[in-house]
Amino acid sequence: MNNQQIIKNTEAFVKNALKNAEGGHDWFHILRVWNNAKLISKNENVDGFVVELGALLHDIADSKFHEGDETIGPKIAREFLENQQVDDSIIVHIENIISNISFKGGNFEQHFNSPELEVIQDADRLDAIGAVGIARTFNYGGFKNRPLYNPEISPDLNQTKEAYKNSEAPTINHFYEKLLLLKDRMNTVTGREIAADRHLYMEHFLTQFYDEWNGKL
Ligand code: ADP
Ligand code: NI
């Protein structure tokens, strides 16, 4: 099978697997990350096949939707890629990408890095900020039935991975605990440039949000 056919099969596989996914982690999130990753790759020296496979499979079984199980994503990806007769060295790389891409509160030690992971991580982070990032965040907050905002509950920037995952804090806190931190964590120049605009957009959103909350006319 040629690489183009494998990508096509992966697209179909992921689309089907995410049929009932939460709105912020559905096929369209994958499609945006895939497109972002291809765009960023143009300015990077990377293996395009690995970037595309990694982008397509990065949220195939997110642990937060699978009782915290962090092994299930890499496992499903491996099974699928073995069926596609992908080289084992590439499969190992994809497993490492899936296990290490996530933010998890930002206080988690990343055990693996590669130029391909850096590109996909930037692509995923771009989808967490800006207008789409805001929409996804409130969708996830709704999915978890969290309050929009509570001025009495402050953001917590030093959460462990566990606390971050189990947080019941208002959705606005997530901006301070993750979204506003991402622009300084971008790996690539292209990612950093796009992130700068999206960051400003979130700052405007927050200013407007507090003005409205406080009844400013
Ligand atoms: P990571 O594990 O890297 O934080 P996630 O898949 O958890 O990545 O996050 C993707 C997006 O899901 C976030 O950018 C945000 O929009 C939403 N999300 C995740 N956790 C929360 C949360 N605690 N509150 C609000 N939104 C969240
Ligand atoms: Ni993602």
Domains, the chain: 3-213 (1.10.3210.50)
What pLDDT is recorded for position 107?
Answer: 60
pLDDT digits (tens, 9 = 90+) for 41-54: 999 999 999 999 99
Ligand nearest to the CA of 23: 1
| Cβ count near 70 (within 10 Å) | 16
Each residue of 48-57: b (16+ CB within 10 Å) or e? bbbbbbbbbb
pLDDT at 168: 87
Helix (H) or strand (E) holding 40: helix 27-41
Which pTM does this prediction carry?
0.93
* 27 has a pLDDT exceeding 90: yes
Closest ligand to C-alpha of residue 65 is: 1
Of all atoms in ligand 1, which is nearest to the CA of residue 141?
25
Give the tens place of pLDDT for each residue, 145-194.
999 999 999 998 888 878 877 888 999 999 999 999 999 999 999 999 99
pLDDT recorded at residue 159: 84
CA 86 – ligand 1 centroid, Å: 30
Q: Ligand 1 centroid vs 183 CA: distance in angstroms?
A: 15
Which residue owns the Cα nearest ligand 1 atom 17?
137
- For 120-146, write each residue's pLDDT tens digit: 999 999 999 999 999 999 999 999 999
* Distance (Å) from CA 216 to ligand 2 centroid: 36
The proportion of the chain whose per-residue pLDDT surpasses 70, expressed as a percent, equals 97
Contacts of 100 (CB under 8 A, 6+ apart): 110, 111, 112, 113, 117
Nearest to 9 by CA among 65, 79, 84: 84
Query: Among all ligands shown, which has an atom nearest to the Cα of 27?
Result: 2
Q: Closest Cα partner for 51 from 139, 116, 111, 143?
A: 116
Q: In the chain, pLDDT over 90 holds for what percent of residues?
A: 84
Around ligand 1, the residues with Cβ closer than 6 Å are: 24, 62, 64, 102-104, 128, 133, 136-137, 140-141, 167, 171, 174, 178
Q: pLDDT band at 106, cuts 50/70/90?
A: low
165 vs 108, higher pLDDT: 165
Burial label for 181, CB within 10 Å (0-12, 13-18, 19+), is: middle
Residue 3 has pLDDT above 80, yes or no: yes
Q: How far apart are CA 164 and CA 124, in angstroms?
A: 18
**Tokens encoding 138:** 């409130």
Q: Is 65 exposed, middle or buried (0-12, 13-18, 19+ CB in 10 A)?
A: middle
